Amino acid sequence: MNAAGVLQIPLVMSVWDDGYGISVGNEQQTTKASISEALAGLQRTANEKGVEILRVNGWDYAALNATYEKAEQLAREEHIPVLIHVDELTQPLGHSSSGSHQRYKSKERLEWEEDFDCNRKMREWLLEKNIATIQELEELEQACKSEAKEARKTAWQSYQAPIKAKQKELLDLFPALIKSCANAPGLQILQSSLKQKTELTYKDLLHHSRKALRISAAYSSPERNQLKQWVTALQADLKPKMSSHLYSESNYQLKNITPVDPTYPDEVEKVDGRIIIRDNFKALFEKNDKVVLFGEDVGKIGDVNQGAEGLQELFGATRVFDTGIREATIIGQGIGMALRGLRPIAEIQYLDYVLYCLHTLSDDLASYLYRTVGQQAVPLIIRTRGHRLEGIWHSGSPMGGLLHLLRGVNLLVPRNLTQAAGFYNTLLEGDEPALVVESLNGYRLKEDKPSNLGDFRLPVGQVEVLREGEDITLVSYGSTLRLVEAAAQELAQYDIDAEVIDIQSLLPFDLGHDIKKSIAKTNRLLVIDEDVPGGASAYILQQLLEEQDVFPLLDSAPSTLTAQAHRPAYGSDGDYFSKPSLDDIVEKVYAVLREADPNRFPAL
């Protein structure tokens, strides 16, 4: 509501107040035990903008109508936010079926809830206003009960019909299967169990059929093959209903976007990385008037690292603007803009700060396409920066948590600002949400400036081999890659030829299985990651060992080199001891090769 008041958003927010948060009363939930009194300081006045706060009892039908009519008029005509505190509501059944309200409500409260039940008060109001007679209300109530029961029955029958049709198909397979398996008692018990079920779920069908396959594993027969085909077909039929559209399946899905390489003039200009990202944003704004960029310190000062320097002056405060320090509402604004057809780039100033909006990112953005079965795309781009810095704050790399909680969002980790620009260009051609983590310590490092800013596009889900080698595959991403490349050069002095691969995209991960191709050549793997032990490195290993099946290719155990489990200690020494250093990488690789050939590589 604070953000709504600051921005003067014409919304109507309802707080339906039954006096409890699950079983805990308002006196332990809210200051003054009232949300409207707690937020009274937001109330607008004749001289100051703010929020209009209205309060109404939930059992008072006429007052509810009048209150909502007033709220709608204020929001639409005066373009202001309105908070409606709907008070004195009842909680007839408790918060859930597992929490009976008799366990935490007093006798007096229960009696009050019976007297002020909304249906009862509505009935009293209808009689008082002579809108209906007692007989008419009783007839209406009975008709409503009958209609509800019939609707429930019809809905359940509609749900059961296709499942029962599948039940019949499965039962028809059992007699021949049982006969082909020497009348196995276990199969006969399953058949009987399935016949007796009158209320079914697809889970019941799959459980019985898959168990039948396990029981009949010792028998090879056409009947068993037929059952296996039936199970496979049912699973394939159900999968789109349960597991589709985690990511876009439209023509604009990111894997369909054609990559375009950056081009460079004959005389390449070396500039700070921030210049590349700034000028790339400028090019994007010029070619697409739906692009907006906003967040903490983005507008007036052009972000804390000057990656948006001067853009507000060029394109105005409507397209490049500042927000307050409120990450959750930044993401909320971005989701709303994306739903309305804009192409928002919402900046969360540092990677650490993503934690403050993670709930909205995970519960809302990441699941939006999945929850709507692909009907509603939300192509919000979240821009942030992180990885290596010196100190306990702004130096975290909580990639493991983000990987687990943001399935449904593309998670991109460019090693420099040219790569970041290429990702932004690609994302704006597609219809999927993404989180782009720029390298915090890369804004002042020199890069070659491309001549086709705004147009070159980096493929999402594709790794890049930065250095070819024969002895070991080194996999990393982001800022740490610079150390990995330097370590590979030093390792060459010890006759160790390391291949260096930039992951670039954690979600999705190496769609072309190019890391597997590298491991097939080197037969050794080291994952270097500045997340905590078991963080992103565990995910990377899972992808390589299970999805790409690299284990048979390895001559040495796959290894990881990660940051310490704690936050980075302060200063350059803190960074050196807390996160993988060049020395750590060199010595770790050397140890892997020494284990394979101790005569060639003496102890350090």
Active site residues: 394
Q: Contact 516/383 with Cβ under 8 angstroms?
A: no
How far are the Cα atoms of 104, 484, 500, 574, 603 from residue 492, in angstroms, in the given order? 71, 12, 12, 28, 17
CA atoms of 188 and 178, how far apart (whole Å):
7
CA atoms of 123 and 111, how far apart (whole Å):
18
How far are the Cα atoms of 68, 397, 425 from residue 84, in angstroms, in the given order? 8, 41, 42
Write the single-letter amino acid at 156: W
Residue 368, token pair as written in the block: 């939006």
Write the single-letter amino acid at 27: E
Q: Contact 395/568 with Cβ under 8 angstroms?
A: yes
Residue 287, token pair as written in the block: 């070619």
**Is residue 192 classed as helix, strand or coil in its secondary structure?**
helix
Residue with tokens 């942030």: 384
Angle between helix 134-180 and 118-128 (nearest 10): 150
Q: Contact 79/10 with Cβ under 8 angstroms?
A: yes
CA atoms of 227 and 235, how far apart (whole Å):
12
Write the single-letter amino acid at 254: L
CA atoms of 56 and 604, how far apart (whole Å):
77
Residues in contact with 26: Cβ distance below 8 Å, sequence separation at least 6, in sequence order: 17, 19, 20, 33, 34
Phi then psi for 315, rounded to 5 degrees?
A: -115, 0
Evaluate the omega torsion of the peptide bond into residue 508 and state whether it is cis, within 30 degrees of 0.
yes
β-strands 464-467, 498-502 pairing: antiparallel
CA atoms of 293 and 299, how far apart (whole Å):
8
Paired with 268 in beta bridges are none
Angle at 482 between CA 478 and CA 488, to 5 degrees: 125
Reported residue count of the chain is 604
Q: Contact 462/495 with Cβ under 8 angstroms?
A: no
Residue 476 has a CB neighbour count (10 Å cut-off) of 30
**Is residue 321 classed as helix, strand or coil in its secondary structure?**
strand
Closest CA to 435 of 389, 392, 378, 479: 378
Residue with tokens 């029961």: 149
**Is residue 13 classed as helix, strand or coil in its secondary structure?**
strand
CA 152 to chain centre: 35
Across 2-145, where does the E strand assignment appear? 12-16, 20-21, 24-25, 52-57, 82-87
How far are the Cα atoms of 64, 77, 336 from residue 73, in angstroms, in the given order? 14, 6, 22
Phi-psi region of 409 (alpha: psi -120 to 50; beta: other; left: phi over 0): beta
